[in-house]
Structures are given as structure tokens and as C-alpha cells.
Amino acid sequence: MQIFLDTAEIDELRAWADTGLIDGVTTNPSLIAKSGRKIDEAIAEICTLILGPVSAEAVATAKDEMIAEGRKLAAIAPNVVIKLPLTPDGLRACRTLTEEGFKVNVTLCFSAAQALLAAKSGAAYISPFIGRLDDAGVDGMALIHDIRAIYDNFAFETEILAASIRTTAHLRDAAIAGADCSTIPTKILDAAYKHALTDSGLKAFLDDWEKTGQSILG
């Protein structure tokens, strides 16, 4: 499964860029606003740090304006993916931009029926929001399973990009469910490293090694 970071913070991305773990980045208007930067400058810098797909979101709500914004965002760098909302106008814009050769990430997906429409509109990615469904008392992970089954049934090439990941359990379960990618905040990626038994096991190994008085480097 590909791992994307859900952030527009350059310092966060720079800290993880050389790990080889990050396959892409997703941003949204809220993340750009939080960064305090102009969207074109932020996306351009992100694209120099992460060579995989970088989602940049249009903010228009009407089809023609979405298309115009999408073209402008895609011109920032060749790895930009245009992010559009799962609305009638968003899907129409997705179709047009896809036919023009751009990649589109359709976001704010909360049902399998929506995901089906996005795939038929040519979306390169669909972003189902797991955590927000859980917040509403709905099993968000069940949606990933449903989309996976539908896409496999009809050989859709749209990739499932699990979003609104709140815990490492979400990350694990999305991988088990067959999501192609998960986009996560850096705190979840950092937490994915950690386990108490790893820490205690390493401490025991190092304590025993210190008793030998040896040095591997001499």
C-alpha cells in the first residue's frame, strides 16, 4: 500500500522525504490555510520534495471554474493531481480534465455509490473518509471493503486512497481491506513505528551487548 502524507507543512515533509516511505502528498484548502502560504508556492515546493503524486484542491464549486482552477494547479508541476469534490459539477469537471490527460483525485466520498460514479467519471483516485464516517456512527472501514469489491468486479483502474485516517488501526485495516493508498498525518506515521515490545526488546539487546565490552567498529 502506498503511504501519502496529509499535510502542507514543508518542514514535516522535509523530515520524512528521505525515509523512502512517502509515496505522495495530499493537501486541501484547510491545510493550505493552516500553512499560511500561497497555494501555488506551497504546492511547487512540496512537488520538489516528493516526486510522487501531490493532490492540490480546486476551491470553485461550478464545473467551468473547477476546470480552469484544475488546469492552473496542474501547471505548477507534472506530479500535481487535481483534487475535486464529489458533487455533480465535480464529476463533470473530473471527466473533462481526465480526457485532457490530467489525473484527478475525487474527494469527500462517503458511500460506495459515490465511489462508483467517480470511477465512471475517470477519477485516478477516490478518497473515502473513514474517520468522519466513524464519527457519524457508521463503519468507515466497511466502505473501503465495499469500494474494493465494486472496483474489482468491474476492473476500474481508480485507486482507493483511504482518507481521514485517525489511528494506526485505521492504517492497518485500510491495508487489509485492499486500499491502494492511505493518506495520513505525520503523527500517525510516527506512531506506526512505535511498540512497547520493540523498545523493551532493543533495550535488552543493548544491555546484553554492553556487558560483552565489544565494539563492532573496533
**What homologous superfamily is domain 2-212 in, according to CATH?**
Aldolase class I (3.20.20.70)
**Cα–Cα distance measured from residue 78 to residue 89, given in angstroms and rounded to the nearest whole number:** 24
Where exactly are the structural domains of the chain?
A: 2-212
Task: Give the mean pLDDT of the chain.
Answer: 97
Handedness of CA 9, 11, 15, 17 (dihedral sign): positive
Please confirm, yes or no, whether 211 is among the known catalytic residues. no
The contacts of residue 136 (CB under 8 Å, 6+ apart) are: none
Q: What is the mean pLDDT of residues 152-168?
A: 98
The contacts of residue 148 (CB under 8 Å, 6+ apart) are: 160, 177, 178, 179
Give me 114's grid cell: 459515490
pLDDT for position 145: 98
Pairing relationship of beta strands 54-57 and 181-184 according to DSSP bridges: unpaired
- Interval 184-210: pLDDT, tens: 999 999 999 999 999 999 999 999 999
Portion of the chain with pLDDT greater than 70, in percent:
100
Q: Residues 83, 120, 203, 211: which is the catalytic one?
A: 83
- Interval 68-114: pLDDT, tens: 999 999 999 999 999 999 999 999 999 999 999 999 999 999 999 99
pLDDT for position 218: 83
Q: What is the mean pLDDT of residues 5-25?
A: 96
- Interval 28-47: pLDDT, tens: 999 999 999 999 999 999 99
**Cα–Cα distance measured from residue 43 to residue 56, given in angstroms and rounded to the nearest whole number:** 7
